[in-house]
Amino acid sequence: MSETDELAQLRTTVETLAAKVRALEDQAEITQLVAQYGPAVDSGSGEAAAALWTEDGVFDAIPHLRMEGRDGIVGMVHGPGHQTVIHTGCGHILTAPHVVVDGDHATGRSHALHLRWDADAGRFWVFQVSANTWRWVRTSEGWRISERVNANLDGTEGPRAMLAPTSNAPSLEES
């Protein structure tokens, strides 16, 4: 193998590794973004929760509330309904999302559990388990949520379908 061929092969290897590192960084950043949601809303930090979204991002908590923009999310977190829930004890637990990155956009799906404190029984109970679909976008601030749809897994087809694998999900051979 000539020196030119070796350099070309090395260049190709470095480019391949750089692409894989970027893909891993994207996955980690998006997963960390999702992981910040529960602690932000459970601590009543509306601005921190809202900062996870793009300025015009949407959070559709079907059928309860559709929040548009960061102000909508801040309003929910600081609103009387949410404040009552966090002051009587609750936890928003999100599972690690399945993420598919396509350039500066990504999609995903996950579960969310909403736990509530039962002071009389001295324990938490599962109030809600929901399906979530996500859309993220790379911004100058890093990855942000552009849309989250959250629907209670109540036995109906719609929420179950939200969790179904998509055609753009990588196969085991591609990962």
Q: Answer yes or no: is 34 within a domain.
A: yes
Q: Between β-strands 98-102 and 90-94, what pairing exists: parallel, antiparallel or unpaired?
A: unpaired
Output DSSP code: residue 2.
Answer: -
Chain-centroid distance, C-alpha 172: 22
Query: Quick check: is 157 in a domain?
Result: yes
- Residue 163, both tokens: 């969790």
Q: Is residue 167 part of a domain?
A: no
Residue 157's pLDDT is: 96
pLDDT digits (tens, 9 = 90+) for 23-71: 999 999 999 999 999 999 999 999 999 999 999 999 999 999 999 999 9
Establish if 31 belongs to a structural domain: yes
Number of compact structural domains in the chain: 1
At 13-22, the pLDDT tens digits run 999 999 999 9
Q: What percent of the chain has pLDDT over 90?
A: 91
80-88 helix and 3-42 helix, angle to the nearest 10 degrees: 90
Contacts of 52 (CB under 8 A, 6+ apart): 33, 36, 37, 40, 144, 145
Q: How confident is the model at residue 174 (pLDDT cuts 50, 70, 90)?
A: very low
pLDDT single digits (tens) 67-94: 999 999 999 999 999 999 999 999 999 9
Query: Tens digit of pLDDT for each residue in 134-159?
Result: 999 999 999 999 999 999 999 999 99
Give the pLDDT score at 171: 38
Neighbours of 169 (CB within 10 A): 15
How confident is residue 170, by pLDDT bands cut at 50, 70 and 90? Answer: very low
Q: Provide the residue range defining the domain that includes 119.
A: 3-162
Which CATH number do you get for residue 7?
Answer: 3.10.450.50
